[in-house]
Homo-oligomer: A and B are copies of this chain.
Amino acid sequence: MSSAKINAAIDNLKEAGVRITPQRHAILEHLIQSMSHPTADEIYKALEGKFPNMSVATVYNNLRVFKEAGLVKELTYGDSSSRFDCVTTDHYHIICDSCGKIVDFHYPGLDEVESLAESVTGFEVGRHRMEIYGVCPDCKRKH
């Protein structure tokens, strides 16, 4: 049930002193219920039926608020626009080169690579980023 997750997120925000406006509720709801990794613009378009006057800046502003509250993570991909993920537990992504679909997948952290990099470069390592690219089952079928 995603409404539980929505409520938890809202409680989290309230505790941080963030007002729950209708726009914020809708953006959060869309993020959680869509179960995907939408762009700011996709969220904006998905909600323009319900909020015909909402500004795209409101979407960006609130995504930043949610990020600062630790409720969403921003995924940045090269030239194109950022995507937002409301699953904040550690996981990796696999991305279809053909249709752009993004799928979560879990793998134990790459601690060994991190510690090797640390010893070889003298950096103090904080985090890493990894994605895998390929062709998804749907696109394989279409060939």
Chain A interface residues toward B at CB < 8 A: 76-79, 82, 92, 94, 96-97, 103, 105, 107, 110, 113-114, 116-118, 120-137, 140
Contact = CB atoms under 8 A, between A and B. Distances in A.
A135 B118 CA distance: 10
Nearest to A130: B130
B107 A116 contact: yes
A62 to B, nearest CB: 18
Q: Tell me the number of copies of this protein.
A: 2
Contacts of A125: 94, 132-134
Contacts of A107: 113, 116-117
The 9 closest A-B pairs by CB, nearest first: A76-B78, A125-B134, A123-B134, A122-B137, A130-B130, A128-B132, A124-B135, A126-B134, A117-B132
Query: A123, A133, A136: which has the most chain B beta carbons within 10 Å?
Result: A123
A110 B113 CA distance: 9
